[in-house]
Chain A
Amino acid sequence: SQQGEEDPQALSIQEGENATMNCSYKTSINNLQWYRQNSGRGLVHLILIRSNEREKHSGRLRVTLDTSKKSSSLLITASRAADTASYFCATDGAGANSKLTFGKGITLSVRP
């Protein structure tokens, strides 16, 4: 089954640095979405990139999508302590189904 898999699994950086997280998946997709989750809390939608898009920006976030390599990256620039959370990529399979398949998640720690 298709699955988003992120790397690295955990990332620790200093406030102000950039954080790059990668995600790979296995099958064709409609879109790929990135979510943030603070410990044990809800999933907050960050950004959606469609299969015909290559790059998308939203504030300090930049997402790229390479459908030939079945991979995506999320870049958070000028990180803040408040960015500390787990980040998931989720793929929406091609076709009529819209269920999301999540990867394992990346734990980002931003040190003040």
Chain B
Amino acid sequence: AAGVIQSPRHLIKEKRETATLKCYPIPRHDTVYWYQQGPGQDPQFLISFYEKMQSDKGSIPDRFSAQQFSDYHSELNMSSLELGDSALYFCASSTRPAGDTQYFGPGTRLTVL
């Protein structure tokens, strides 16, 4: 079965650079979520989209922005990167209604030097 696809899988950036992470949800899933997991931490919700509209926002820094496109893929844009942004970034997808299983992608490991 098709799973959530994330690219790139690994990314190394310098401080103050920008990064773009991409997420391709499972076919026919219209809801996308982004989570950040720091080293040894639990995943923290960043932002979600339903039918290309932002549906909820968590602890996402103002330096980050995201959107969902007409084909339902999503991109997380991160600017002015800081050392503390080094983490695993997960995308998950689900179908509506609310309360359905969220299927996670393999994650993008971002390292900021």
| CA A65 to CA B102, docked complex, whole Å | 19
Contact A41 B104, CB 8 Å, known A97-B56, A104-B42: no
Interfacial chain A residues near B88, Cβ < 8 Å = 40
| CA A100 to CA B44, docked complex, whole Å | 8
- Report yes or no: A31 in contact with B99, Cβ–Cβ below 8 A: yes
The stretch of B66-74, B75-83, B105-113 that contacts the partner chain: B105-113
- Report yes or no: A43 in contact with B56, Cβ–Cβ below 8 A: no
- Report yes or no: A30 in contact with B99, Cβ–Cβ below 8 A: yes
Q: Kindly report which residue of chain A lies nearest to residue B88, judged by CB atoms.
A: A40
Contact A42 B45, CB 8 Å, known A30-B99, A33-B102, A99-B58: no
Question: Does residue B98 face the partner (Cβ distance < 8 Å to A)?
Answer: yes
Question: Does residue B86 face the partner (Cβ distance < 8 Å to A)?
Answer: no
Question: Does residue B64 face the partner (Cβ distance < 8 Å to A)?
Answer: no
User: Out of B42, B45, B94, which one reaches A103, CB within 8 Å?
Assistant: B42
- Report yes or no: B109 in contact with A40, Cβ–Cβ below 8 A: yes
- Report yes or no: B43 in contact with A102, Cβ–Cβ below 8 A: yes
| CA A95 to CA B102, docked complex, whole Å | 16
In the complex, what's the smallest C-beta–C-beta distance from B8 to chain A, in angstroms?
14
Q: Kindly report which residue of chain B lies nearest to residue A95, judged by CB atoms.
A: B98
Q: Kindly report which residue of chain B lies nearest to residue A31, judged by CB atoms.
A: B99
Interfacial chain A residues near B103, Cβ < 8 Å = 45
Using CB atoms and an 8 Å cutoff, list the residues of chain B in contact with chain A: 31, 33, 35, 42-45, 48, 55-56, 58, 88, 90, 92, 94, 98-107, 109
Give me 19 other A-B pairs in contact (C-beta within 8 A), A42-B107, A100-B102, A102-B42 excluded: A30-B98, A30-B99, A33-B101, A40-B88, A41-B106, A42-B104, A42-B105, A43-B43, A44-B104, A50-B99, A92-B98, A98-B48, A99-B33, A99-B45, A99-B58, A100-B33, A100-B43, A100-B45, A102-B44
